Structure 1
Amino acid sequence: MNVPITSARLTRLLNWLSAVRPWLLLAVLASLHALLWVGEDVSFGRVLLLVHVGLLLMWQPLVGAQSRVEARGLAALAVVVLALLVFYGPRVLSLWMLLLAGLIGGKVFYSTSRGPRVYYLGALAYLITALFTVALPRALPPGLSVPAGIDPLGLWLSPLALTVMLGVSGHERADRDRDVLDFVSGLFVLLLLAVLALGTLAAMLLSGVDYLRALLGTLGVLAAMLLLLSWAWNPRGGFGGLGVAFTRYVLSLALPYERWLESLAALSERDGRPEDFVARAANRLLALPLVAGGEWRTRGGDGPTHEGHFGERGTQRYEFEHPLLALALYTERPLSGGLVWHFNLLVQLLGQFYQARLRAEELRRLSYLSAIHDTGARLTHDVKNLLQSLNTLCYALQEADGPEDAARANALLSRQLPVITARLEATLDKLRRPTPADGEWMPAPEWLLAMSARFAGQGVAVEGATDPDQWLPGALYTAVAENLIANALQKRLTEPDIAIVLRLGGERLSVEDDGSPVPPELEARLLREPVASATGLGVGLYQSARLAEAAGYLLALDLNRVGCVRFALVPAAASARRSDAQH
């Protein structure tokens, strides 16, 4: 029962700290001002210093309230507090105020909202005023000249800066980024104030002037230097300045990472298994600074899990996760938060490339299956045409009653059996040795005569006037003509009186009938995808269109109306010229 109570009390304490946090900084500065008022009373000052440090620990933005502090951190904190108590005095207090000014200065430059920025500017103004009017003059050696009224003036005037903090309303005073600190800006403020303090002391020792003149003189020199530095950072007249040089330097720090990304892109273009790609990319991580070695493991997907290691083990281990990849890096020194984020981004990119390689492998397998399917569908289509021819011959033999009919059937059989045998051998040759889509070329008159013999006795008119020297891709034209005529003959079963015409004019092949048109809902899909068929697989026209496309030809529904349904096969270039002429 004690654990829930303790957890509830801790939660209430954290909520209370979050609610009063805007007031904690005021309490920190008020306790600091009380230390300045105490002056030379060291015993009472040490008691107030403990209160001041406690308030500072509740406000500080370096460690979150929910974070767990390790024993080493607590020991270091205890050593710092003990050193402050033992060496407490004006000089230690001045150094402490310099550090506080740097801490609050980092919040001033980071805050983007008006309320928190004014709030922290008031705190920084108080620290600077109290430091240079009260704390620093007390820390100077006894022989240096300090104006007599500067100490009480600073004690009474410096709290006026705190009224600026009180003027900020409660909802504007809340800092949404209270746990974020700009260390570079804070270090800049700390060094700037340190240069001002040390410059003032140096001016007093070298020139023999009093404190106020030395402070104003050093402040003027420092302002001039800052003005000159700001001009050099971004000069006019087309010069790049220090800003461009600094940006170039910062960007050059990322060159090893950019080179690794370039190598990652280059590795992705190579052939090989996806796990080999991950292993090579992980090995190249050794070229990055601070990386001593690492381990990687692929996961997910349908395939087996692969793992490997590279380099050597280090004292520090950092693990990075991707849905398909886990990678651990070893370093000799701890990495900052920015570097950890940077390495995590690199691992995410590596995981994306690995996922792309897995998809490429899957597409390659699917392409193999597609090739097998296309070959099977093409051969099935050829076998179906052969079976239809054999069925026609069998029907003719069955219907032959008298001697004359038997003689005609035998003549038909003697003509068609060699053709069927040749086509069956051609189909088996396709299975054993794939041929180009257009197949072997043959003279156009010879192909036209073969078609006349092929469809003799089936009620198909074969027409054409061709040049004797003209050659055609025989396999392509034969496959397309057989498929179109087979569909027309199938249509004749429901529409017995339709006429079927195969016509060849030059390179243009057309098959037409005078039956009913293709339905509109089917016309948009015909030749573009397999369609439902009551008498076959529904892929005949689709396969014919793909064969024609692979050979540089175009099979299209040329005309679709009542009394004329025409399919045409033409070279793709001629079809394009015709389309351009129509437009």
Structure 2
Amino acid sequence: MNLNQILLKNSHRVMALMLLSLHAFLIFFDKDVAFRQMFYFLSFGIFLVWQPVWRGNQKLSLVALVGLVAIGLFGFFYFNWWLTALWLAILFGLLGGRIFSGDSKKNRLIHILAASYLLAMLLLWVVPKLLKATEDLQAAEFVIFYMMPFLPLSILFIHNTLSLADDSPVVDFFYTLMLFMLAIIIILGSYAIGTLQQVNYIQVMFYTISGMAVILFGLSYLWRPSTRFSGVELLMSRYLLSIGMPFEHWVKNIATLAEHETTPNGFTQAAMNEMMKLGWVSGISWMADETRGQLGHKTSYSTEFNFKDFYMTLHSRWQMSPALYVHVKLLTQIMGEFYEAKRREETLRQNTYMQAFYETGSRLTHDIKNILQSVGTLVTAAQQTSEEDNEDLLKLIKKQLPVLNQRIAATLDKLKAPSEEKKRQEKISAWWKNLRLR
């Protein structure tokens, strides 16, 4: 087991160590500069090891590397309580977004504990520092100093059920952004109420939490469809599950291509060209049976999809989110079904043609056999006829030769019939295809 696999297996413990070092950084923020800087670098370094954006075996680009170094140096020299609140809001979004994913109950519990710790420290420690209302929560300092660390400590003793083979994306952009904005609203709302009303911080928390509860209750009521309203969920799903164009439009285009293209390879090429029109797609490579193809150029973000004998590798401009992955997988299955249908149609056409060919060959063999038997009968009669019967033999031959000629001509016409029928069908198919394209 290499280092990447060890870190992946114990990623929740690395996250817990990051939260513990962050807790020490928050406690020593105003007390000791040396300890603050030490725990800042410690927490930021552990965050870089744990971060869920880049995978362990993925190389960082120069822009990402410079950006991370700049963030670290900026936080070291210019960190204040506002930047601390922003940093906690970002971590709350990253960790809270995993709660809504399809992980197991233990993994969801891990992220619930981590998000609860961050939200509690945000409301009980960071926001009071912004409002300079620490005296209002002096009674809670014991809980903050000595009880809050038990939340990340408990994560260390939870067994993670994540498989080593699980390399799926771990950041859902929508839920992460939604929870990040929720944390920002809580911070700014508390600061605005505390600054304008000049009330006790406990009242500020009551007003803020009550207001957020009312808003969330209203959203939950509007989220579900009813008899009078289709629901915000349905309205948002129409666009959140879109990959650059409405789902119905994309499926309609694929169905149109399936009608116009008669061969599996032609349909696959046309479908790949249709997918390349999406703005976030950089390149596509595919393999179907013994045929291969490639469009565009490769990137560092590649995702593989397969359906039966249809394999596709999609190169995107950024990392694919779980919702987008499920959506593209569904579209791949649709293309695979159309491809299988085209294969069955082509096989059926070939079988029909071969059946007609064999049936024609069987009939021709029977006709030629009868003709040869007639010729053999005439030859036998000629060999056994005496000189006195030559005139009768000549009359017989003159009578049978036109009949044999007609039978041979009919046999040759039957031999030409399959190719002529195939040409006629090809002309009809081409005419019908051009008519539908008008």
Fold agreement, TM-score > 0.5: yes
- Are 1:322 and 1:351, in contact at CA under 8 Å, matched by a contact in 2? no
What corresponds to 1:387 in structure 2? 372
C-alpha displacement at 1:63, in angstroms?
Answer: 1.6
Would the aligned equivalents of 1:26 and 1:162 in 2 still touch at CA under 8 Å?
Answer: yes
- Please, which runs of 5 or more residues in structure 2 have no aligned partner? 299-315, 419-438
Contact 2:285 2:295 in 1 (8 A): yes
Q: Which secondary structure state, in structure 2, belongs to the residue aligned with residue 322 of structure 1?
A: strand
User: Judging changes above 3 Å, is the alpha-carbon distance between structure 1 residues 382 and 257 closer, same or farther for their aligned structure 2 residues?
Assistant: same
- Equivalent position amino acid for 1:28 in 2: M
Aligned to 1:207: 197
Which aligned pairs between 1:94-243 and structure 2 lie closer than 5 A?
Answer: 94-141=85-132, 146-162=136-152, 164-166=154-156, 168=158, 170=159, 180-237=170-227, 239-243=229-233
Shift of 1:228: 1.3
Question: Could you give the per-residue CA deviations for residues 73-120 of structure 1, whole angstroms, max 9, x where no partner exists?
Answer: 211110000111111232222221111111111222225312111122
Deviates further, 246-255 or 337-346: 337-346
Describe the SS at the equivalent of 2:181. Answer: helix
Distance 1:85 1:388 in 2: 105
Deviations 1:503-561 (A, max 9, x none): xxxxxxxxxxxxxxxxxxxxxxxxxxxxxxxxxxxxxxxxxxxxxxxxxxxxxxxxxxx
C-alpha change, 1:381 and 1:318, in structure 2 (3 Å) is same
Structure whose CA Rg is larger: 1
Q: Is the 8 A contact 2:261 2:267 kept in 1?
A: yes
1:14 equivalenced with 2:4 (yes/no): yes
Work out which of the residue numbers 313, 328, 338 in structure 1 matches 2:295.
328
| Corresponding position: 1:55 with 2:54 | no
Given the superposition, is the C-alpha separation of residues 322 and 96 from structure 1 closer, same or farther in structure 2, using an over 3 Å criterion? same
- The answer to whether the aligner puts 1:318 opposite 2:283 as a matched pair is yes
Check whether the contact 1:93–1:135 (CA below 8 A) recurs between aligned residues: yes
Mapped contact 1:38–1:45 kept (Cα < 8 A): yes
Q: Which residue of 2 aligns with 1:267?
A: 260
1:290 aligns with 2:279: yes
Q: For residues 421 and 177 of structure 1, what CA distance do their matches in structure 2 show?
A: 81
Q: CA deviation at 1:378?
A: 3.6
Equivalent positions of 1:36-55 (< 5 A) are 36-40=26-30, 41-55=32-46
2:367 touches 2:411 (CA, 8 Å); kept in 1? no
Q: Does 1:78 align with 2:69?
A: yes
CA distance in 1, matches of 2:333, 2:292: 9
Q: Which amino acid aligns with 1:224?
A: V
Q: Distance between the aligned counterparts of 2:126 and 2:297, measured in 1?
A: 48
Give, as a single letter, the amino acid of the residue that structure 1 aligns with 2:283: Y
Shift in alpha-carbon separation, 1:241–1:136, aligned structure 2, 3 A: same
One of 308, 316, 320 as aligned partner of 1:337: 320
Deviations along 1:453-475, one digit per CA (max 9) or x if unpaired, are: xxxxxxxxxxxxxxxxxxxxxxx
Q: 2:432 maps to which residue?
A: none
Percent of aligned positions that are identical: 26
Point out which structure has higher relative CO (alpha carbons under 8 A, 6+ apart): 2
Residues 36-61 of structure 1: CA distance to partner in whole angstroms, max 9, x if unpaired? 22131233201110011111222222
8 A Cα contact 2:223 2:231, kept in partner = yes
C-alpha distance in 2 between matches for 1:20 and 1:343: 30
**Cα distance in 1, alignment partners of residues 259 and 124 from structure 2:** 63
Aligned to 2:204, what secondary structure does the other structure show? helix
Question: Residue type of the partner of 1:421?
Answer: P
Which amino acid letter does the alignment assign opposite residue 126 of structure 2?
A
Please tell me whether the aligned partners of residues 9 and 164 of structure 2 are also in contact (alpha carbons under 8 angstroms).
no
Name the structure with the higher helix share. Answer: 2
Deviations along 1:5-56, one digit per CA (max 9) or x if unpaired, are xxxxxx7543543454332222111111111221312332011100111112
- Using structure 2 for the length normalisation, give the TM-score: 0.72
Q: Distance in 2 between matches of 1:161 and 1:47?
A: 22
**Which ranges of structure 1 fall in alignment gaps of 5 or more residues?**
1-10, 292-315, 438-583
Q: Is 2:247 the partner of 1:254?
A: yes
Q: Secondary structure at the match of 2:23?
A: helix
Distance 2:415 2:162 in 1: 79
Shift of 1:423: 3.6
Q: Secondary structure at the match of 2:65?
A: helix
State whether residues 360 and 414 of structure 2, in contact with CA within 8 Å, keep that contact through their aligned partners in structure 1. no
SS for the counterpart of 2:285 is: strand
1:267 counterpart letter in structure 2: H
The CA deviation at 1:232 is 0.8
C-alpha deviation, 1:318, in angstroms: 2.1
1:470-489 map, 5 Å: none
Q: Give the superposition deviation at 1:211.
A: 1.1
Asked if 1:422 corresponds to 2:403, the answer is yes
Equivalent pair of 2:12/2:156 in contact (CA under 8 Å)? no
- The separation in 1 between residues aligned to 2:4 and 2:147, in whole angstroms, is 35
One-letter code aligned to 1:290: G
CA deviation profile, 1:338-364 (whole Å, cap 9, x unmatched): 679978997998799789879978987
Conservation of the 8 A alpha-carbon contact between 1:22 and 1:173: no
Shift of the alpha carbon at 1:223? 0.7
- Contact 2:12–2:160 (8 Å) recurs in 1: no
For residues 117 and 343 of structure 1, the distance between their equivalents in structure 2, rounded to whole angstroms, comes to 25
Partners of 1:123 and 1:80 lie apart in 2 by 23
Distance 1:289 1:113 in 2: 33
Return the TM-score normalized by structure 1. 0.56
Give CA-to-partner distance per residue, 1:351-393, whole Å, 9 cap, x none. Answer: 9978987997898788777766655554443332233234335
Q: Is the 8 A contact 1:134 1:155 kept in 2?
A: no
Q: What SS does the aligned partner of 2:296 have?
A: strand
- CA–CA distance in structure 2, aligned partners of residues 274 and 202 of structure 1: 63
Q: In the superposition, relative to structure 1, how do residues 356 and 242 fare at CA in structure 2: closer, same or farther (>3 Å)?
A: closer
Does residue 34 (structure 1) correspond to residue 17 (structure 2)? The answer is no
Change beyond 3 A, Cα 1:341–1:26: closer
- 1:90 touches 1:135 (CA, 8 Å); kept in 2? yes
**Shift, 1:227, TM fit:** 1.0
